[in-house]
Structure 1
Amino acid sequence: MSRAWQLGAGLVLTALAGYVDALGFVRLGGLYTSFMSGNTTQLSVSLGHGAFDHTLMPAVLLTAFLIGAVLGSGLSILVPSPWATPAVLAYEALLILGALALGLATPELGLASFAMAVAMGAQNAVLAQVKGFRAGTTFVTGALFSLGQKIAQALTRTGPPLGWVGDGAVWGALLLGALAGAVAYAHLELYALVLPAAVAGFLAVIAAILAARSIDPASSKSPFP
């Protein structure tokens, strides 16, 4: 797939992660469905204060994200290239829809949030790197540091003058996605999950079309083993 597609899809997925994370943060009252550093800190603080009743949800979210990362990575490994990307994106879309269904069916916060965290863990297997900066992941701490580093290089003329733009775009995508998620949840509550599910599904279709076009029509071999 072309760099332009990877860049565009990566920024959209980063925004999607911010959207889902903000929605989960508001719904869970201060916990995250994609930012696992924050949940790890919350878990540690609760353990340190002996507030063991507050450790369950962070632990559930961390476990869910890890499961999602394993399953998403497993799909990307086992599904033949170039079908891995559409497969993981379709899986993510189904998980988000599953989170919506669970949230509407039961008042328990943990069930829908578990599915959301699994989806975010899986998303990180879609695009690991876009030629020089990370995009499509559900965390931007590294991108923010890289942004500062590349700004310093530009100012000292030890790096390209616009080398920081990519990392800045990644951070901005998460920021705008989180803003959209907070606004959407205020108006739509859990139905706000329809949008990220539709976005992931749309990207899966586009990725599948690109994958089909990349296959040599002269080859008689199936892309599947």
Structure 2
Amino acid sequence: MRRSWQLTFGLLLTALAGYIDAIGFIQLSGLYTSFMSGNTTQLGVSVSHGALGQAVMPAVLIATFLIGSTIASGLSIVTPAPWKTAAVLAYEAILLVGAFALGLQLPQLSLASFFLALAMGAQNAVLGSVQGFRAGTTFITGALFSLGQKLAAAFTKTGPPSGWIGDAAVWLALLIGAVAGAAVYDRLGIFALVFPAGLTVCLAVMAALFARTHRADA
């Protein structure tokens, strides 16, 4: 897959993570399906206050995210190189479709959110570093720190003047995704999951076509 397509995939997946995390945040009253730092903080506060009942949900979300990441990473390891991205995206797509199907059957998103957390854990195994910055992951703190470093380098003329743009684009993609996710969920409810599920299916198909072309050219 060319760098330009990797970048496009990465930004779309980052926006998707923001979209899904916003839905989870609304439905789970302040918990997350991809931002595990926030869930870990919630877990720590609940344990500290002796509110063990409130600690269950963040703990389960963290464990679920970890399971999704582990399975997707293993899938990436055992899948031949040209097909890695397609295989992990297909796995993520199945989980998102499953979350939507489960959400249709249940009035609350809490059980479906576990499928979303599995999918977000899986997504981090899709792409690594693209053109010197992280794209496609479900967390943004590292990108913001990198953005600050590259801005400082640009201001002091010790680095490229436009080297910060990639990290800024990653942050902006997550923000746009979160805005869209909250707005669409407010209007459509569980049907808001149709969009990320459909997008992931399309990306998986495109990645498979890229892999097939790569194999044919090899």
TM-score normalised to structure 1 length? 0.94
What's the secondary structure of 1:142's corresponding residue?
A: helix
Rounded to whole Å, the distance in 2 between the matches of 1:58 and 1:115 is 14
Structure 2 residue 161 is matched with structure 1 residue 156: no
Report the equivalent of 2:134.
Answer: 134
Q: Percent identity?
A: 64
Structure 1 CA distance for aligned equivalents of residues 216 and 89 of structure 2: 23
**Paired residues, number:** 218
3-state DSSP of counterpart to 1:216: helix
1:94 aligns with 2:94: yes
- Matched-pair contact (CA < 8 Å) for 1:10–1:136: yes
What do residues 183-213 of structure 1 show as CA deviations (whole Å, max 9, x unaligned)? Answer: 0100011110010011011011111111111
Counterpart-to-counterpart distance in 2, 1:164 and 1:80: 33
2: CA distance between counterparts of 1:181 and 1:193?
Answer: 9
Distance 1:128 1:27 in 2: 30
User: Which letter does structure 1 place at the counterpart of 2:173?
Assistant: A
CA distance in 2, matches of 1:56, 1:196: 27
In structure 2, the residue matched to 1:222 is none
* Distance (Å, rounded) in 2 between the aligned partners of 1:197 and 1:141: 25
Q: Runs in 1 of length 4+ with deviation above 6 angstroms? A: none
Q: Do the aligned residues in 2 keep the contact of 1:21 with 1:35 (CA within 8 Å)?
A: yes
Higher helix share: 2
Aligned CA RMSD, in angstroms, stands at 1.1
Give the whole-Å Cα distance in 1 for the aligned partners of 2:31 and 2:184: 18
Q: What amino acid sits opposite 2:129 in the alignment? A: Q
Kept after mapping to 2: 8 A contact 1:57/1:110: no
* 1:210 corresponds to: 210
For the pair 1:146 / 2:146, whether they are aligned, the reply is: yes
Q: CA deviation at 1:131?
A: 2.6
Structure 1 residue 14, shift from structure 2 partner:
0.2
TM-score under structure 2 length normalisation: 0.97
